[in-house]
Structure 1
Amino acid sequence: MRNLRDAGGFPTEHGGRVAEALLYRGGSLHELTPEGAARLAELGLRTVIDLRSAPELEVWPDRPFGEQVRFLHLPTFPVRESAAEHAEDAAADAAAQRSEERSEEPSQERAAARDERDAEAGEETLDALYAFMSATAGPAIAATVSALAQPDALPALVHCAVGKDRTGVTVATLLSAFGVSDADIVADYHLSNTGLGLDRGPVFYVDEHGTERRSRPVHEGLILAFLASLRATHGDATQYLLAHGVTKSELKTLRAAFL
């Protein structure tokens, strides 16, 4: 699997340290090889939390490993697009493609339309994506945190498609609630660029609807804006989690386990 790493090891503002080998973050398990499955089994995982959408799971289901691992589906995004909207996108792509074929130069209109639809097309669209997550992802992030607090849930792996954006805001919120500094959260967040090869430029891929997308490197402004948004609305990450359904008992359990 891609972009796998331990989410622990960071000092906190209270003088403690986030324990390692309890929470891992990464990309999806649909390409998991037998060797990869064996290595994941060595981590002793008890829970895998998948933040992807239902269509992503349908096209690229996680490959199971280990008899004791519990798989949970807690999508970060609410349902935003209908089949009709996807059909309209496909029709627009087809029309733009026909237009492009009649021209020697690539269609700027087609590229612009693709970028507008693509949640990871470029910095402006990434900004919009993170603003959208700031406004809507609270219940999903809280559900993930609550799941980690359940008996025998740890060690756990949290992942989305590539472990960059949805996983990034989820882990950042939890680390912030533990008292990890923004500087350390940003440093961990930036590791996805190297883990995905984005430090060398954009990476093209085909999404679950068969549409070509372009994934760009993350930058600190994205995650800092997300953290600033939750602080502006709730004061801090702890209050943000409590407001979206995490209980004080669950936070106490997690802090006892991790710190």
Structure 2
Amino acid sequence: MAVTTPPPRIPTVPADRRIPLAGTFNLRDVGGYPAAGGTVRAGLLLRGDALHRLDDSARATLAGLPVRTVVDLREDFEARLSPDALDGTGIAVLRLPVFRFTGDSFGKSPEDLKTVYDHMVDDCGEVLAAAVAHVATATAHPILVHCSAGKDRTGVVVAIILSLLGVSDEVIAEDYHLTSAYLAEEFTQAVEQLQAATGLGQRLNGQALACPPELILATLERMRASHGSIEGYLLAHGLTAQLVAELRRSLIEPLVVEAVVEAAVVEAVAAETAGEPTD
């Protein structure tokens, strides 16, 4: 009897990926996406917005995931205004400001998002590579990467990581665009507070809510155009091939094709045996 081997099963990814943690509005797990030779492991890489609104219950929940490391991509003045509320959790916080703007220079930053993203690619490669390196070495426990909204700086870092794992550009763009669904009233209030504290006025209003998929795609293409690949871009800015390999080992859940084949054979034999006449 011929046995038809079913295709490897890719776990379905829930439409709503948000982790409902009080005090956040854009915290989510990037696990489950199809990757090179498997899927992105669930529960190890989280992305999110600022953590200064966490209460005791939310802190306990986050520590119980159990997140052990937070990578904070915000600028120094943002962290001073709204420090992560993680006291008593045992969670280590790594500060990696992407832009290193002061309040004044941030207010004079480019007005269009494309220019801001181009700036990240052209001038912030070392910080982006450092963020990826830290994720690669800290995934024995869940790690959370965040900025203020979990959109731009976090979006670029996560897109880079997903690309290294072999996630398709289409899926990366969909993950990036998900943020637009989670920008709630409290996010608007946070932007208004930032504007009031830094004198940004109305300059961020239109852009702060935008998550166009084509923007993250153009950002990835800019890296490839300058260095041949996302990996080449990161290697040129300080990441090592060893850490790239470690990232993939840690964050890719391999498809166990052998187990699928074995299960199909066992099922076929059982079915054939059940149909044999008894003496």
Give TM-score, length-normalised by structure 1: 0.78
Q: Which residue of 2 aligns with 1:257?
A: 250
- AA aligned opposite 1:191: L
Question: What is the CA–CA distance in structure 1 between the aligned matches of 2:68 and 2:189, rounded to whole Å?
Answer: 34
Map 1:26-45 → 2, pairs under 5 A: 26-45=48-67
Shift of 1:236: 1.2
Residues of 2 paired with 1:65 and 1:180: CA distance?
A: 35
Q: 1:57 to 1:132 in 2, by over 3 A?
A: same
Question: Counterparts of 2:161 and 2:84 in 1: how far apart (Å)?
Answer: 24
Q: Secondary structure at the match of 1:48?
A: strand
**Partner AA of 1:141 in structure 2:** L
1:3 alignment partner, one of 26, 30, 43:
26
* Residue 243 of structure 1, CA deviation: 1.2
Residues 179/202 of structure 1: CA separation in 2 closer, same or farther (3 Å cut): farther
Gap change, CA 1:19 and 1:165, over 3 Å in 2? same
> 1:56 corresponds to which residue?
78
**Matched residue, 1:96:** none
Cα shift at 1:38: 2.3
What amino acid is aligned across from residue 19 of structure 1 in structure 2? R
Contact 1:47 1:70 in 2 (8 A): yes
- Distance in 1 between the 2:139 and 2:87 partners? 17
Unaligned runs of 5+ in 2: 1-23, 253-279
Q: Unaligned regions of 5+ residues in structure 1, if any? A: 90-116
Give the conservation status (yes or no) of the 8 Å contact 1:148–1:154.
no
- Residue in structure 2 matched with residue 209 of structure 1 by the alignment: 198
Q: Deviations over 1:7-38 (max 9, x none)?
A: 221112x3311101000000011111223212
Q: Distance in 2 between matches of 1:67 and 1:73?
A: 17
Contact 1:46 1:153 in 2 (8 A): no
Matches within 5 A, 1:66-85: 67-79=89-101, 81=102, 83=104
Structure with greater Cα Rg: 2
240-249 or 65-74, which deviates more: 65-74
Question: Retained in 2: the 8 A contact 1:177–1:236?
Answer: no
Residue equivalent to 1:187: 174
Count matched residues: 221
CA distance, structure 2, for counterparts of residue 169 and residue 41 of structure 1: 25
Report if aligned partners of 2:71, 2:146 keep a CA contact under 8 Å in 1: yes
Aligned residue number for residue 142 of structure 2: 155
Q: Which residue number in structure 1 is paired with residue 163 of structure 2?
A: 176
Q: Is the 1:76–1:166 Cα contact (8 Å) retained in structure 2? A: yes
Q: Does 1:167 align with 2:180?
A: no
Q: Check whether the contact 1:202–1:217 (CA below 8 A) recurs between aligned residues.
A: no
Amino acid at match of 2:67: L
Task: Write out per-residue CA displacement over residues 136-188 of structure 1, whole angstroms, 9 at most, x where no aligned residue.
Answer: 22111111111122256631000000100000000001110111000100110
Equivalent-residue separation in structure 1 for 2:45 and 2:56 (angstroms)? 22
1:247 aligned residue: 240
Counterpart among 205, 219, 223 of residue 216 in structure 2: 223
Distance in 2 separating the partners of 1:38 and 1:118: 37
Amino acid paired to 2:175 = D
What secondary structure sits across from 1:205 in the alignment? helix
Task: Name the residue aligned to 1:108.
Answer: none
Identity %: 40
